[in-house]
Structure 1
């Protein structure tokens, strides 16, 4: 009956079709749609989606955790991501903008808090009648007064930790972070906890900075940078401690991919070899030789 219905739908007589054609036709009818599975990387994150409002706010933003899945197709893309404690996202104002001439702008630190969506701590800063979040430095504390200026003086300034100046205004050997790629575009480089870049030398209107990876980048002298080392210095050297805390951090274990004892890429446990007896060689007695005087 099933073959008769198939022949009726195909409008082909049974005498002109083979089993191979029937199998090919049934597979083509039941085939899955051609869905291209995206690959991780290329600047796309599969850990969370942050719902940004139209204007900047210091209110914690809502987050949708993706657990390593593509937001459009729902397919698993990044296998190492999953679960984790749900955190609110604090919007960082990456642009430290100040006056181009005259005295620098003063900013007061209100509070230092931890952010679950990034490794370094953040600081709530008051600028005039506005509030914003910035990355906190190693020794920053509430009540500190920060200075921000885009002025390029003839003599390098003596900046304190947390101050923001252009690279051309800072002396050689200064530790900096949140370095701009282009003037006025906001800090782009050196955001991780405990990291910093070091100003090495000047080349005409360029400033060479050694990054945390020991590579040397040449920036324009008008690019802004924040002085000091980022907070939460012990982040990289602190052990996770337990598998459960690793799940809290949003890391999914590689279950089934690698086993230490009997897995495909693990070491194999072979049975022990038989006992080898270590002993001195046995002395065989020589036969007795009897001698006579008769020929």
Structure 2
């Protein structure tokens, strides 16, 4: 009997692909029939955005891109992940070209002209439409950038630091200490930059060996490679964090779901019942001090 069991265990059953699909569907139905079904929900803030999906084409374009609004739901399961997202005015997403590439020869710079400054509803800082030869691209606008400005880009690191203007892009090794920068590369050639939010900037503190120490907006100091590209200046829309919302409708237009309905006013669910104020209390004067007893002793 043991030998027969061992023989059956070594046998493999080969199913047709259609039969395999039928078996998989039956197993899935059996799982759905159970009382509890474990679904692994993604956690918000782990690098995945549950506000919108941007449909990027294969080639770069300056045309506004199409967006699918998620309203805080997982795009695969449809389950609610981030409860504070929903509604909002329809926005247009403009594709930012993060890599600022230029010549690496001494004395040669690439000149770019600012054509237009505009607001992008999908980001806090303003966006600048820049012309380079016969090419158009979007970059993040700086605080004092104006239409018609000429921006310079170079990858050459001279022996003496350059004197850059706002909006110019240079390697960290070419900029003097104390320069305000944004759109900083984490590693040389890596397109995902740091310092994007409106009104933020990093500061070049010092240099040692082949490293450049930069203080980020969080006040933390990091040492980057001297060949990492950075854009000079502070990002635009510096009053963004001081903007007054003013009404619930305005908050809804910004794409934030209201928090109404979390607690009940009458029965006080979640411990927030609106109770009647206690009755008036009369403040009594302080008690009079006790009179000290005087004891007399009579000796006869």
| TM-score normalised by length of structure 2 | 0.79
Distance 1:274 1:223, change over 3 A: same
Aligned residues: 256
Where does 1:97-112 land on structure 2 (aligned, <5 Å)? 97-102=101-106, 103-112=108-117
- Structure 1 residue aligned with 2:122: 117
Where does 1:23-62 land on structure 2 (aligned, <5 Å)? 29=33, 31=35, 33-62=37-66
Q: CA deviation at 1:279?
A: 6.4
- Structure 1 residue aligned with 2:85: 81
Task: Give CA-to-partner distance per residue, 1:186-230, whole Å, 9 cap, x none.
Answer: 351000000000000011110000111101111000000000000
How far apart, in 1, do the equivalents of 2:177 and 2:135 lie?
A: 33
Q: Which of 196, 216, 219 is the aligned partner of 1:211? A: 216
Task: Give CA-to-partner distance per residue, 1:137-172, whole Å, 9 cap, x none.
Answer: 001011000000000100000000000000000000
**97-106 or 173-182, which deviates more:** 97-106
Task: Assess if the C-alpha contact under 8 Å between 1:126 and 1:132 holds in 2.
Answer: yes
Q: CA deviation at 1:36?
A: 2.6
**229-238 or 32-41, which deviates more:** 32-41
Q: CA deviation at 1:264?
A: 3.2
**Bigger-Rg structure (1/2):** 1
- Structure 1 residue aligned with 2:72: 68
- Structure 1 residue aligned with 2:149: 144
- Structure 2 residue aligned with 1:231: 236
- Structure 1 residue aligned with 2:197: 192
Question: Helix, strand or coil for the counterpart of 1:207?
Answer: strand
Task: Assess if the C-alpha contact under 8 Å between 1:96 and 1:186 holds in 2.
Answer: no
Distance 1:139 1:31, change over 3 A: same
How far apart, in 2, do the equivalents of 1:214 and 1:260 lie?
A: 43
How far apart, in 1, do the equivalents of 2:136 and 2:101 lie?
A: 14
Q: CA deviation at 1:276?
A: 2.9
Q: CA deviation at 1:40?
A: 1.5
Distance 1:72 1:277, change over 3 A: closer
Q: CA deviation at 1:269?
A: 4.4
Query: Does residue 1:92 correspond to 2:112, yes or no?
Result: no
How far apart, in 1, do the equivalents of 2:198 and 2:132 lie?
A: 24
- Structure 2 residue aligned with 1:127: 132
Q: Which of 251, 254, 264 is the aligned partner of 2:270? A: 264
| TM-score normalised by length of structure 1 | 0.81
Query: Does residue 1:253 correspond to 2:223, yes or no?
Result: no
Q: CA deviation at 1:184?
A: 1.4
Distance 1:224 1:278, change over 3 A: same
**38-47 or 28-37, which deviates more:** 28-37
How far apart, in 1, do the equivalents of 2:203 and 2:272 lie?
A: 42
Distance 1:280 1:161, change over 3 A: closer
Q: CA RMSD in A?
A: 2.5
Question: Helix, strand or coil for the counterpart of 2:173?
Answer: helix
- Structure 2 residue aligned with 1:276: 282
